[in-house]
A = this chain, B = another copy of it.
């Protein structure tokens, strides 16, 4: 196996759950960790300083979007995404595959790769494993993801089987490409909700020199319970010495459950996208700041929260900003939601350090289920959970 796996250290475990530490080119990150999504080289409305203040250790950048804008010429000239966007801490980039597959009719898959039309210019563009590796080298991310074939669920057995084999062959080609110094490369396994196929895909992926393993093909249409069932099925087989990344997930409840099954890393657009729609995360569920009930409320979003927004601004003022379409409202809401996710991860990490994760889990699972899974009103806000911001 690959020698770089020593970059990841598991400090504490409790059941499948792990408290780990991952050394990357731009710094060390403490896991379990949540990565805010900065599609175009910016987490919408926030500066790098805001992100650091909110507790962000590592960002996710979208290869597909960055390849279209600003493109490799600009990213190359600026010496990569870190310098371009003035972010000093680690960055993980997806491979662009997920976005390309979500283009639907506008892309054509072959063994060589995916040909698609830019959603901006209409230009025909080819994404191959070699190209995905090149783009991520130019971006200079700390963690690059292999190009995989992602299948929307439900799918036929043949579609799932083929995606597993093709993803393996593409990962193999990706990993044979030149490697940027210090850049780690994570493999991705597929298999839909079929546990046996998942185990086969995981085994194939681990034949390759990967620095981490990602669970792909979830958060693509299946239910929360189906997703958790997959995690339960694969958890005993995940490589103990590599970091485990669940792509594009999820709600606070999803994250708690996934940590309980041994997942170390997460990314999702929920906190940032909800913020711009006026949906604010609290211990009691998603709060719609536009509601009339907040009109005269001088309390912060969450009395327990110490973010910049909760320290300085009332619900009544935030509601006013949303009703008047003031950009500052989106910004202050984003600060809060990102902080909420990081605080959840901090709580999880602290309980693992103290050996009390089991009770943390038992305490928070019903609260988060009540807050984020049982209410119909949250479904439309949560949407599809797609990785693109």
Residues of A within 8 A of B (CB): 40-42, 44-48, 69-70, 73-74, 77-78, 84-86, 295-296, 298, 308, 312-314, 316-317, 320-321, 323-324, 326-328, 330-332
**Which B-chain residue is minimally distant from A313 (CB atoms)?**
B86
Please determine whether A317 and B41 come into contact, CB atoms closer than 8 angstroms.
Answer: yes
The answer to whether B69 touches A324, judged by C-beta atoms less than 8 angstroms apart, is yes
A327 to B38, CA, bound (A): 12
A36 to chain B, nearest CB (A): 13
Report B-chain residues with C-beta under 8 Å of the C-beta of A40.
320-321, 324, 326
- Contact between B42 and A323, CB atoms less than 8 A apart: no
Most chain B CB neighbours (cut-off 10 Å) among A296, A298, A316, A327: A327
Indicate how many identical chains form the complex. 2
Alpha-carbon distance between A78 and B313 when the two chains are bound, in angstroms:
11
A69 to B317, CA, bound (A): 11
Establish whether residues B45 and A317, one from each chain, have CB atoms under 8 Å apart when the complex forms. Answer: no
Choose among B48, B78, B330 the residue that contacts A314 (Cβ–Cβ < 8 A). Answer: B78
Are the C-beta atoms of A331 and B324 separated by less than 8 Å? no
A76 to chain B, nearest CB (A): 10
Bound CA–CA A323/B326 (angstroms): 21
Q: Which residues of B have CB within 8 Å of A70?
A: 295, 316, 320, 323
Asked if B296 and A77 make an inter-chain contact with CB atoms under 8 angstroms apart, the answer reads: yes
Interface core residue of A78, A320, A330 (most chain B CB under 10 Å): A320
Contact of A86 among B77, B86, B317, B323 (CB under 8 A): B317
A134 to chain B, nearest CB (A): 19
- Residue among B44, B47, B313, B316 making CB contact with A74, cutoff 8 Å: B316
9 shortest interchain CB distances as A-B pairs: A40-B324, A70-B320, A42-B328, A86-B312, A45-B327, A77-B296, A42-B326, A69-B324, A84-B317
Partner of A328 from B45, B320, B332 at Cβ < 8 Å: B45
Q: How far is the CA of A298 from the CA of B77 in the complex (A)?
A: 9
Query: Assuming the A-B contacts A296-B74, A296-B77, A298-B78, are A44 and B327 also in contact, with contact meaning beta carbons closer than 8 angstroms in the complex?
Result: yes
Once the chains bind, are B298 and A328 in contact (CB under 8 Å)?
A: no
Chain B residues whose C-beta falls within 8 Å of the C-beta of A313 in the assembled complex: 86
Closest chain B CB from A361 CB (angstroms):
36
C-alpha gap A332/B86 in the complex (Å): 13
Can you list 25 A-B contacts (CB < 8 A)? A40-B320, A40-B324, A41-B321, A42-B321, A42-B326, A44-B326, A44-B327, A44-B328, A45-B328, A47-B332, A69-B323, A70-B316, A70-B320, A73-B296, A74-B295, A74-B296, A74-B316, A74-B320, A78-B314, A78-B316, A84-B314, A86-B312, A86-B317, A327-B327, A327-B331
Question: Are B46 and A328 within 8 A (Cβ)?
Answer: yes
A74: chain B residues within 8 A (beta carbon)? 295-296, 316, 320
List residues of chain B with CB within 8 A of the CB of A295.
Answer: 70, 74
Given contacts A314-B78, A316-B74, contact A47 B86 (CB under 8 A): no
C-alpha spacing A354/B77, complex, angstroms: 45
The residues of B that contact A42 with a CB separation of less than 8 Å are 321, 326, 328
Which B residues are CB-close (under 8 A) to A77? 296, 298, 316
- Complex CA gap A281/B178 in Å reads 44
Residue of B nearest to A329 (CB): B42
Within the complex, what minimum Cβ distance (angstroms) separates A122 from chain B? 17
Q: A312-B86, A317-B86 are in contact. Are A47 and B328 (CB under 8 A)?
A: yes
CB distance from A99 to the nearest CB of B (A): 15
